[in-house]
């Protein structure tokens, strides 16, 4: 998460072209080392699977990439190819090849290993030095020259938004994949969530407009007014945004043009898939095959089934690496101010990991209970100033991340799928060796560390019912809810094997199956808590008149 997630995105890129990106503090080569190692591993495994030479394997992988990336890949090969080919041909381990290139270092006294080696540390250092002398310096690439949009993003608002209403007609770069699609990007008073009559124009983009000639009433008034129409906004972290790196990208046997076809879109979405997430999912996962499979159910998709008037009324403000101290700023990026005459909102604060997660090997950087309480309280006070009356706030606690190690430890990571030689224990230890784990506390082979992390997470979670209790009845414009440990309870009832809940590449985030399951669980919890009221009895009439409005 956070900078770590930016690194993981870079990993995905590096798999293709061995480029490096500027990242925060790490040791032993950090991201550059991970990138290089993954790339070399894929080249070696492609040689093995296809029985081809190193240079053929490298050109083959370059040829799978889209547009500019394919060109950059070929350019990179001109410099790198001849230097590293002899070592790859000789079957040197990817870790050793990347150490020789200077991408992996031994700042802490020893090199980090993703793959097993039978060399001693001394032999390894000697071998690496000999190889380095003959390879020479290696040039790095800048991610921003290839995917400039990503580097121009300074906030979490749509990059393409002509009327500045925070809604876009373009899907990526915080557009309609993240927030309901704008149905008029030239008029700032036309946007999803508006509370309007829509006699002539669909001012809230839910597809319902015009006048019923019999009654003289507008359809919006006739079928939506008084039905409890409500929008949903999720302010959270990478789990809210549905972070995912397609495992095909790290599985040599599956590399192809098809699996990289959506590479640029994935990067423009910060490697997040909000359009398939538990909170604001609204597309079918089948549209993104072969890079994602599984069901799609979200709180938003169920809210639309509940009331067709809610169509397009969603906002995903999930940000990789965010923690509770970010909530107050995310409030300002919400498009929901009662001054603009908008419908009520179900706003979810869902920071489920980063307050106890980082790459640092310490408990000291974790959020304290008082900081946790104060950050959420401050964000709520700000939200009460702008949210429309009748809104709801749901507080989601941190997940018990011990499920990650307990479930994944001995399973094989996609990068080890060719030879069954990399387990998640090795993968987690490898990231920790370079201080770039998204979560040292959970992704750790030391059980005491994992249990202590849970003690701290529990002490934070205990603040939520306290906060609800302390403030209930004091909010002017919303009701506040703590619906229990949503993620943990959803996990307990998950009907398939537990590993299917977890993203294969990062071994950290909820999978597509996990997202759909959590989305359904949260909808049911929201319904049970009385937040929603009855279904809109006009749904069938709306569908008959205006169509099903699937997707966008």
Active site residues: 238
Residue 271, preceding peptide bond in cis (omega within 30° of 0): no
Element (H, E) at 232: strand 231-236
Closest distance of CB 197 from Ca ion, Å:
9
Number of C-beta neighbours around residue 495 at 10 A: 7
- Nearest Cα to 499, choosing from 400, 381, 416, 411? 411
Per-residue burial over 506-534, b if 16 or more Cβ lie within 10 Å, else e, is: bbbbbbbbbbbbbbbbbbebbeeeebbee
Closest distance of CB 535 from Ca ion, Å:
19
Do residues 275 and 282 make contact, with C-beta atoms less than 8 angstroms apart?
Answer: yes
Chain-centroid distance of CA 347 in Å reads 19
What is the dihedral angle through the alpha carbons of 457, 458, 460, 462, rounded to the nearest 10 degrees? 170
In Å, what is the CA distance from 410 to each residue of 149, 263, 292, 414, 423?
39, 29, 23, 13, 6
Number of C-beta neighbours around residue 23 at 10 A: 15
Rounded distance, CA 107 to CA 279, Å? 42
Number of C-beta neighbours around residue 458 at 10 A: 15
Contacts (Cβ under 8 Å, ≥6 apart) of 152: 159
Nearer to Ca ion, 28 or 227 (CB): 227
Closest distance of CB 314 from Ca ion, Å:
15
Nearer to Ca ion, 483 or 542 (CB): 542
548: left (phi over 0), alpha (psi -120 to 50) or beta: alpha
Closest distance of CB 541 from Ca ion, Å:
14
User: Length of the chain, please?
Assistant: 552
In Å, what is the CA distance from 415 to each residue of 40, 44, 98, 419?
11, 11, 16, 9
Nearer to Ca ion, 44 or 202 (CB): 202
Rounded distance, CA 344 to CA 477, Å? 9
Rounded distance, CA 82 to CA 473, Å? 70
Nearer to Ca ion, 282 or 509 (CB): 282
Closest distance of CB 182 from Ca ion, Å:
13
Nearer to Ca ion, 21 or 204 (CB): 204
Closest distance of CB 283 from Ca ion, Å:
21
What is the Cα gyration radius of the chain? 25
399: tokens are 């997940």
Nearer to Ca ion, 208 or 383 (CB): 208
Closest distance of CB 542 from Ca ion, Å:
10
Do residues 49 and 94 make contact, with C-beta atoms less than 8 angstroms apart?
Answer: no
Closest distance of CB 207 from Ca ion, Å:
7
Closest distance of CB 206 from Ca ion, Å:
4
Residue 190, burial from CB neighbour count under 10 angstroms (0-12, 13-18, 19+): buried
Three-class SS state of 387:
coil
Residue 478: φ, ψ to 5°: -145, 160
Nearer to Ca ion, 220 or 331 (CB): 220
Rounded distance, CA 18 to CA 6, Å? 15
Nearer to Ca ion, 131 or 208 (CB): 208
Rounded distance, CA 390 to CA 482, Å? 17
- Nearest Cα to 276, choosing from 257, 250, 253, 294? 294
Closest distance of CB 202 from Ca ion, Å:
4
24: tokens are 């925060």
Nearer to Ca ion, 209 or 373 (CB): 209
Nearer to Ca ion, 210 or 484 (CB): 210
Question: Residues in the site for Ca ion, rule: CB under 5 A?
Answer: 198, 202, 204, 206, 208-209, 220
Nearer to Ca ion, 116 or 547 (CB): 547
Closest distance of CB 215 from Ca ion, Å:
17
Rounded distance, CA 339 to CA 337, Å? 5
């Amino acid at each position: 998460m956070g900078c770590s997630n930016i690194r993981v995105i870079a990993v995905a890129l590096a798999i293709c072209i061995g480029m490096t990106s500027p990242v925060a503090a790490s040791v032993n080569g950090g991201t550059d080392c991970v990138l290089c190692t993954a790339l070399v591993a894929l080249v070696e495994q492609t040689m093995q699977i296809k029985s081809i030479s190193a240079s053929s394997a490298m050109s083959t992988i370059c040829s799978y990439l889209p547009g500019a990336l394919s060109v950059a890949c070929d350019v990179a090969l001109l410099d790198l190819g001849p230097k590293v080919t002899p070592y790859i041909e000789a079957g040197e381990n990817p870790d050793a090849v990347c150490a020789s290139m200077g991408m992996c270092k031994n700042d802490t006294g020893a090199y980090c290993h993703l793959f097993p080696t039978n060399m001693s540390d001394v032999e390894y250092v000697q071998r690496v030095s000999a190889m380095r002398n003959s390879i020479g310096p290696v040039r790095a690439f800048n991610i921003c020259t290839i995917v400039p949009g990503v580097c121009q993003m300074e906030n979490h608002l749509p990059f393409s938004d002509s009327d500045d209403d925070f809604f876009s007609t373009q899907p990526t770069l915080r557009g309609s994949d993240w927030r309901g699609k704008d149905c008029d990007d030239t008029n700032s008073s036309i946007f999803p969530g508006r509370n309007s009559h829509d006699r002539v124009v669909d001012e809230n983009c839910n597809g319902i407009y015009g006048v019923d000639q019999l009654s003289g009433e507008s359809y919006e008034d006739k079928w939506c007014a008084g039905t409890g129409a409500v929008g949903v906004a999720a302010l959270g972290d990478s789990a809210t945004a549905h972070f995912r790196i397609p495992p095909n990208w790290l599985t040599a046997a599956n590399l192809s043009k098809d699996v990289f076809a959506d590479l640029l879109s994935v990067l423009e979405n910060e490697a997040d898939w909000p359009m398939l997430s538990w909170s604001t999912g609204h597309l079918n996962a089948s549209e993104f095959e072969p890079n994602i499979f599984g069901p799609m159910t979200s709180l938003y998709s169920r809210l639309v089934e509940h009331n067709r008037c809610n169509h397009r009324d969603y906002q995903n403000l999930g940000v990789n690496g965010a923690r509770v101290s970010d909530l107050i700023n995310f409030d300002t990026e919400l498009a929901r101010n009662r001054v603009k005459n908008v419908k009520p909102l179900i706003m979810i604060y869902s920071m489920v990991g980063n307050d106890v997660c980082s790459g640092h090997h310490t408990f000291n950087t974790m959020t304290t209970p008082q900081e946790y309480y104060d950050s959420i309280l401050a964000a709520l006070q700000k939200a009460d100033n702008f949210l429309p009356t009748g809104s709801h706030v749901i507080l989601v606690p941190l997940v018990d991340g011990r499920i990650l190690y307990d479930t994944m430890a001995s399973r094989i990571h996609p990068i080890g799928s060719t030879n069954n030689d990399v387990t998640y224990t090795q993968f987690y230890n490898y990231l920790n060796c370079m201080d770039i784990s998204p979560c040292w506390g959970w992704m750790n082979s030391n059980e005491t560390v994992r249990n202590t992390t849970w003690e701290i997470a529990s002490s934070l979670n205990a603040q939520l019912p306290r906060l609800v209790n302390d403030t209930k009845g004091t909010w002017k414009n919303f009701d506040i809810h703590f619906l229990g440990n949503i993620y943990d309870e959803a996990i307990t009832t998950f009907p398939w094997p537990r590993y299917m809940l977890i993203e294969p590449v990062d071994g950290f985030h909820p999978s597509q199956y996990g997202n759909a399951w959590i989305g359904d669980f949260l909808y049911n919890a929201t319904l049970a808590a009385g937040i929603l009221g009855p279904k809109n009895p006009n749904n069938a009439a709306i569908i008959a008149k205006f169509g099903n409005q699937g997707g966008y």
